[in-house]
Amino acid sequence: MEVEADEVKRGFRMSRLTIDIDAKNRDESTVKMLIRYFNIKYLFPNCKIRVDLTRKGYHIIAYDLPIPQDKILELRETFGDDGIRIMLDSDREPVGSNIMWSEKKGFVVKKDIKVV
């Protein structure tokens, strides 16, 4: 995904990227989370990233991305976000509003864990 330099100069709103990572076990989800975390940091070195621990995996929330909001769904798909979330968000207004659960089936998401 390429962002034109003049798009950044025009001053569009910085975007937020959310990715829901689930796997069969904690080790697999941790590896997936780390790969995505470092790929996001490589592409967007100045963004802020929060990682939350969920029942089946992790939520990654990257803030201050210099990309247009209409490219977020495409980026989420590239990073392997949950397909159901992408589908739900593509049908919502504004498109790409980033559904992210903080509690589900009695499990409360542990906010802002540390990534070493």
Question: Residue 35 sits in a domain of what CATH number?
Answer: 3.30.70
- Model pLDDT, residue 96: 46
Each residue's pLDDT tens digit, 51-74: 998 888 999 999 888 888 778 888
Distances (CA, A) of 63 to 25, 56, 116: 27, 23, 19
pLDDT > 90: what percent of the chain?
33
Residue with tokens 């829901």: 20
Give the structural domain span for 36. Answer: 5-95
Q: Residue 76, class by beta-carbon neighbours within 10 Å (0-12 exposed, 13-18 middle, 19+ buried)?
A: buried
**Is residue 116 included in any domain, yes or no?**
no
Domain count, the chain: 1
Each residue's pLDDT tens digit, 78-104: 999 888 888 877 776 654 455 555 555
Query: At residue 116, does pLDDT exceed 60?
Result: no
**Is residue 55 included in any domain, yes or no?**
yes
Does the pTM of the predicted model rise above 0.75? no
**Is residue 19 included in any domain, yes or no?**
yes
